[in-house]
């Protein structure tokens, strides 16, 4: 078996400037758990996983309210994880 037989031809990607909430939404919408991170030139600079995004999110036991959590996630970018 070759790598090309297992690869996705046109994967869903994000950029380092993509915010965490948008990346997580994209993953859930397309039912994927990992996405390549491409820079502006289209070069691979990393891979982000759903687990990475969830670890970067506030704990469910936080004292922050839903709006504060939403605000924080709307500011946190992939390159800051």
Q: What pLDDT is attached to residue 58?
A: 76
Q: What pLDDT is attached to residue 75?
A: 87
pTM comes to 0.79
Domains and their CATH numbers in the chain:
10-80 (3.10.580.10)
For every residue of 46-68, which 3-state class applies, written as one string? Answer: EEEEHHHHHHHCCCCCCCCCHHH
From first to last of its 81 residues, the chain has per-residue pLDDT tens of: 788 888 888 899 999 999 998 999 999 999 999 999 999 999 999 999 999 988 887 777 778 887 887 888 888 899 998
Distance CA 58, CA 13 (A): 24
Q: What pLDDT is attached to residue 52?
A: 93
Residue keyed to tokens 């046109």: 10
């Amino acid at each position: 078996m070759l790598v090309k037989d297992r690869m996705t031809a046109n994967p869903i990607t994000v950029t380092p400037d993509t915010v965490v909430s948008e990346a997580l939404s994209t993953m859930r919408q397309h039912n994927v758990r990992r996405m390549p991170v491409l820079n502006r030139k289209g070069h691979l600079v990393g891979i982000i996983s759903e687990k990475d995004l969830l670890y970067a999110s506030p704990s469910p036991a936080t004292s922050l309210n839903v709006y504060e959590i939403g605000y924080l996630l709307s500011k946190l970018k992939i390159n800051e994880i």
